[in-house]
Amino acid sequence: MSKISKSAARERIEALSQELRRHNYNYYVLNAPVISDFEFDLKMQELQALEAMFPELVRPDSPTQVVGSDIAPAPEEKVRLEARQAKGPATDQAATTPAPAPATEATQAPAKHTGFEQITHRYPMLSLGNTYSREDMLAFCNKIEAENGGALDYSCEMKFDGVAICLTYVNGRLTQAVTRGDGVKGDNVLANVLTIKSIPQLLKPGDWPSEFEIRGEIFMPYEAFDSLNAEKEEIGEQPFANPRNAAAGSLKLQSSEQVAQRGLDCVLYHMLGENLPFATHSDAIKAAAAWGLPTSPLSEVRRGAQAVVDYIDYWDTRRKALPYATDGVVIKINDLQLQKRLGFTAKSPRWATAYKFKPEQALTPLLSIDYQIGRTGALTPVANLEPVPLSGTIVKRASLHNKDQMDLLDIRIGDWVYVEKGGEIIPKITAVELKKRPANAARPDFPTLCPDCGTPLVRDEDEARHYCPNRTGCPTQIKASFVHFASRDAMDILAGEATIDQLFNLGLIRRLSDLYTLSKEQLMALEGWQEKSCENFLASLERSKSVPFERVIYAVGIRHVGKTTAKTLAKAFPDIDRLSEATADELSQTEDIGPIVAASIAEWFCNADNLRLIEELRQHGLQMQSLAREQLSNALEGKSIVVSGVFSISREDMKGLIEAHGGTATGSVSGKTSYLLAGDKPGDAKVKKATQLGVEIIDEDTFFKMIGR
């Protein structure tokens, strides 16, 4: 860094600190970062370099000294929180685990915050030093080796890109699952963590210590991330920018049932406790795996600096084939005695560091911007780029999300833009190269009218997106609502985009109910239709009449109502009449339905045209009431049944049957469970627990006999 005066450095330090605090807030609290990790790290490095030049300017609350916090401070609380963080989570000390925080009455009293109990970490939850340079990694190893008598063993591990979690097991049972929070205290999200299949509530028999903590990362595999975002897009909600944000957002949901649907996973990589009986970190993790805890099969112990760099080189490209996001490699001194001697700085351990992979970026000119209207009327700006190779594909288009994002980037047509592909399928523009801005670069004209039907666009106050409000007259929206209605998870009608286009363009369908009026003669007269395809299509329409009520609710396309919400509604409101009469207030009393969703549902049912549609669909014989609510018998009255494994019908339907026969379907086996209803491949933990507690295990046939089916 070139020479800089002290007063200029002070100003820059202040500006960078403020900026980094804001980015920390966007990342940890809002789960919506506006710059890439790489850009963040560059700014952090600049701040570190300035502070190294002028150590007297280092403030205790500098972002270089404190870890980012995922706790959302109330505005008036923010100042106090920052002051508390300024004390730093740990003092400079020598221990293999950070010194336990002193337990004062104030710190031990659990406080309610954003719906979760706040718990003070027994050992502060620190961060890791990081670098993007292999030379730095070599230097890190060489320095420690020079000071400690030669080549050392390192545990080389993937750096999982998720949310840090601290699990506590007491007598083999999971008692607490706490987020990093501000490093000193975090939120207890135990109920949500218990829905993650790979995390055992009870450890396998073994010689586990009576109490220990194990830390790791909760992440969302790409597959779960893609389907969550697809659903979000479908219901007109802003998709998550990447799997990490999706994992963080999911973990803090108020409803564990919803969390269970999110497909989260976990890997654990750091054990802590008093007098743990292990000589090395890898032994501790091996033991954890033997007790049934999820650990990474990709970790390896390697000797010497060069072997560490070889591990990095090996995974640099191969990691792209992993089913989850990783953003680097973590290396840890394997010897726990040596870890103890090396100790911690205020922010991170001296016995570990991270090498971060640079995200692949491409720099390319922005040719134009298209504005696309989706099914729910949301407008998405899409950038058309000069085609450029990136991570094995040629990128031509990238999402610009919304107007706020465009303003933030201050993007102009003709600009050279940086494109990145993270975990997400659609590449995104992360920055504009201002040095290459052409003189004639033009500010884009954000449309005020729907590009499809010309209706003035509206913007909801609380959302960043613009919408075309012409739901019933905008051709794109109408056609998209047919595609959604016919989709597999909705009515499962054999009609894709091309068929809908054809039927719509010929004027054969305008309203969803028109589908049920189509005749074989009409269809046979159309281009490309044969007898067989007509019959299949009509048969699928017939079948759709027995699709359960919850799927009908989903199919009609109420904004913000995805599959999960539709299910919740069908449970809470046994038929369409009760649902359509519910006020926004009543709806928001329903568990998992927030005020925005409630208002959207109530508004939908206030519209005369929608009510007419419901009537027409009812006339055509679609399901307008919950079957599960129908009381079929009292055969299972007072019985609490846990369902596990694969059955001839879906698990949801099985639970519906339990309830229809007077029983209760519960999630986990306890002393109060009457039966474990086990299908094919039931969960090991559930079977074991039922056996331990003497809970009767029954199969599908026995169950069907019990309910006289």
Residue closer to ligand IVH, measured from CB, 212 or 269: 269
Binding-residue pattern over the window 340 to 369 for ligand IVH, x denoting contact by CB under 6 A: ---------x--x-x---------------
Q: How far apart are CA 222 and CA 161, in angstroms?
A: 11
CA 433 to chain centre: 30
Please provide the DSSP assignment of 573-620 as one string.
SSBHHHHHH--HHHHHHSTT--HHHHHHHHHHHH-HHHHHHHHHHHHT
Residues 6 or more apart whose CB falls under 8 angstroms from that of 228 comprise: 220, 240, 246, 250, 262, 263
Closest listed residue to residue 177, CA positions, set 192, 166, 162, 163: 166
Residue 639 designated active-site: no
Q: What 3-state class would DSSP assign to 264?
A: coil
Q: Write down the least CB distance from residue 51 to ligand IVH, Å.
A: 19
Does residue 500 interact with ligand IVH by CB under 6 A?
no
Does residue 157 interact with ligand IVH by CB under 6 A?
yes
Q: How far apart are CA 401 and CA 374, in angstroms?
A: 13
Question: Which tokens in the block code for residue 514?
Answer: 């028109």
Q: Write down the least CB distance from residue 299 to ligand IVH, Å.
A: 7
Does residue 128 interact with ligand IVH by CB under 6 A?
yes
Closest listed residue to residue 247, CA positions, set 28, 559, 464: 28
Interacting span for ligand IVH (CB under 6 A) from 71-79, 155-163, 257-265, 418-426: 155-163
Interface with ligand IVH (CB under 6 A), residue from 167, 251, 325, 330? 330
Please list the residues that pair with 130 across neighbouring strands. 354
Interacting span for ligand IVH (CB under 6 A) from 3-11, 158-166, 585-593, 646-654: 158-166
Which whole-number Å values give the CA distances from 230 to 119, 128, 563, 593, 659, in the listed order?
35, 33, 12, 20, 31
Q: Are 93 and 339 in contact (CB under 8 A)?
A: no
SS3 letters for 392-441? CEEEEEEECCCHHHHHHHCCCECCEEEEECCCCCCCEEEEECHHHCCCCC
Q: Write down the least CB distance from residue 155 to ligand IVH, Å.
A: 8
For helices 497-505 and 475-486, angle between their N-to-C axes, nearest 10 degrees: 130
Does residue 255 interact with ligand IVH by CB under 6 A?
no
Does residue 164 interact with ligand IVH by CB under 6 A?
yes
Interacting span for ligand IVH (CB under 6 A) from 140-148, 159-167, 392-400, 528-536: 159-167
Q: Write down the least CB distance from residue 202 to ligand IVH, Å.
A: 25
Site for ligand IVH in 201-240 (CB under 6 A): 217
Please list the residues that pair with 383 across neighbouring strands. 369, 398
Which residue in 3, 43, 143, 159 is the catalytic one?
Answer: 159
Residue closer to ligand IVH, measured from CB, 305 or 354: 354
Residue closer to ligand IVH, measured from CB, 120 or 564: 120
Q: What 3-state class would DSSP assign to 219?
A: strand
Does residue 159 interact with ligand IVH by CB under 6 A?
yes
CA 2 to chain centre: 42
Does residue 269 interact with ligand IVH by CB under 6 A?
yes
Residue closer to ligand IVH, measured from CB, 28 or 371: 28
Q: Write down the least CB distance from residue 187 to ligand IVH, Å.
A: 15
Does residue 183 interact with ligand IVH by CB under 6 A?
no
Does residue 265 interact with ligand IVH by CB under 6 A?
no
Residue closer to ligand IVH, measured from CB, 67 or 572: 67
Does residue 122 interact with ligand IVH by CB under 6 A?
no
Catalytic annotation, residues? 159
Contact set with ligand IVH (CB under 6 A)? 126-128, 157, 159-160, 164, 217, 269-270, 330, 349, 352, 354
